Every structure is written in C-alpha cells, then in structure tokens.
Amino acid sequence: MSEDSYKGWTRPGPQPPGGLAPEEGETLDHLCGHFRIFQYQKGHRFSTDDLLAAWFGTTWCPRARRVADLGSGIGSVGMAAAWRCPGAEVHTVEAQAISVRLARKSAAYNGLQDRYHITEGDLRDPGLFQGEAPFDLVLGSPPYWPVGSRVEASHPQAIPARLEVRGDIGDYALAAARILAPGGVFACVFPLDQIERAEQAYRAAGILLLHRQDVIFKEGEPYGIALFAGTRQADLPEGFGETAELPARPAPITIRRRDGRVDPGIALVRLVMGFPPGL
C-alpha cells in the first residue's frame, strides 16, 4: 500500500516531512483521516480495537482539551484521538523502547510534535504524569489475557500487547482514576467474554461505568469486543447512578455481515474516523 494513498484514495493536506520513511522491517500504513503510522512488519500492529477505543472515547468526551493514552504502544489509539480532537494536547505512556521509537517517528510524520508528548515508562507508576494537569479523557487498549493463558507472539514487541506482562485492565483503571480531571472520562476496550473483569476494574477504581458498546466481528459469530466509558464516582452528585440503568447499552455494532460485506453500522464509524466512503 502506498504511503500516500489507500485503495486509490489520495491523502489530503500537506505532504509529509522529508526523511521520514519506513526503515528495513517497517511499514507505513493508513491510520485514520490523513494520519499514517509506522509499524514493524512482523511485530505489534494496530487493530480495529484500537481505532474503536479512540472513536468511543472521543465520542463521549468530544471536546477534550487534554487526553492521556495508557500503554500506548506504537501510538495508534492516541494518534487517532489526536486526529479526532485537533485542538487537544495528548500525553502517552509506553514501556517498550522499540514502540516508543516508532510512535515518535509517527508523531513527527503527522506533524504532532507540538501537542503529542510520549513518555517511556510504566503506567502503574503512581507518579505518572506528576506535575501535569489532569486529563479530560483517558484512553486504554489493555492486553486481554493473563500470562500463560495464551501462546506468546513470536515477536517480543507483540507479547505485552496481548498478555498482561505489565499490568491488567485493573491497573489501567486505577491509573486513569489518579489522573482524570473532575468529570473526565476513562474509555477502554476489552473482549466480550471478559465483561465481568472490565466491570470489576471500573468499580475497584471508583469509576462509574456509564456507557458500553458491544462490537461483533462477524454476524452470527459470538466473539467480539466491548467498549466502555465511565467517570469517577467521587466527582458525581451523591446517589447518582443508583436508580438509572447503567451502563447505557445501544444495539451491538457488527463489522462484517455473513456474506463478508461491511455492515452499515461500522461503515458509519469508519466515516467518522476519516475513512473514505465505500472502503
């Protein structure tokens, strides 16, 4: 795939700065809108889950001025949020140096240096973002499975993206609760077959789960993901949420119909995230 086109679609806006091109073993791929992202060809690569997490979080916090992305990897969630919120300042934290290097390269390619700040560190650090103002929106795409419960990926960069090497969804929620601004939103993604773990993580961190959106990968098949968004309970009026049916749950979004066609539900999300119609 050309770095400046996507199935015949030419990227709008200014051309990228010179000197930023894929090195050996890397690819440069379409992320959303006119943004591109550098990835290792055989390492961790961003997924639909990441784009959906960014979409859901920015949908429920559309005017975020300060955004944080926890366990940010190569930057797919944070950069998609930066594209959706062009005036926002984005701070990310990632433990793997090789992923941080790619994220910094992608941020420069997309012209984000002035408002996209990448920290190499552990999201579980209680001093994370110390001295920074709190965040209106905190995003996360946590690993889904405990170590030993799934086969490890062949590339070391991809292992922490799948397995809970440096914390689980509970650690993500606790970190979010520490850095959220009053009324801020924590949004993340987690598998449908582990809903209870996600709900428990929000409760344990003192975050009231307000919205949940289920996403089915293919019509008629059970596996999919859920998107969650909530706010810190302590910032809400006393008794808020005790009588309401929370989290609010609209009808599931389907990605592919049985015949393989793109479902209209996900097509709308793709338009919102800057994909051209019909792709």
Residue 12, domain member (yes or no): no
What is the residue range of 151's domain?
45-234+244-272
Q: What is the pTM of this model?
A: 0.92
Crossing angle of helices 195-204 and 169-179, in 10° steps, is: 30
Residue 23, domain member (yes or no): no
pLDDT in tens, 19-75: 689 999 999 999 999 999 999 999 999 999 999 999 999 999 999 999 999 999 999
Residue 277, pLDDT score:
73
Residue 24, domain member (yes or no): no
3-state helix/strand/coil string of 102-154 = HHHHHHHHCCCCCCEEEEECCCCCCCCCCCCCCEEEEEECCCCECCCCCCCCC
Residue 18, pLDDT score:
56
Chunked in runs of 10, what are the mean pLDDT values of the chain (279 residues)?
Answer: 44 58 94 96 95 98 97 98 97 97 96 96 97 98 90 87 93 98 98 97 98 97 95 93 86 96 94 82
| CATH of residue 140 | 3.40.50.150
Residue 82, domain member (yes or no): yes
Residue 19, domain member (yes or no): no
Domain count, the chain: 1
Residue 18, domain member (yes or no): no
Residue 209, domain member (yes or no): yes
| CB neighbour burial string for 97-136, b if at least 16 within 10 angstroms, e if fewer | eebbebbbbbbbbbebeebbbbbeeebbeeebbeeeeebb
- Both structure tokens of 139: 């995003």
Residue 28, domain member (yes or no): no
Distances from the Cα of 168 to the Cαs of 24, 146, 190, 245, in angstroms?
32, 8, 11, 27
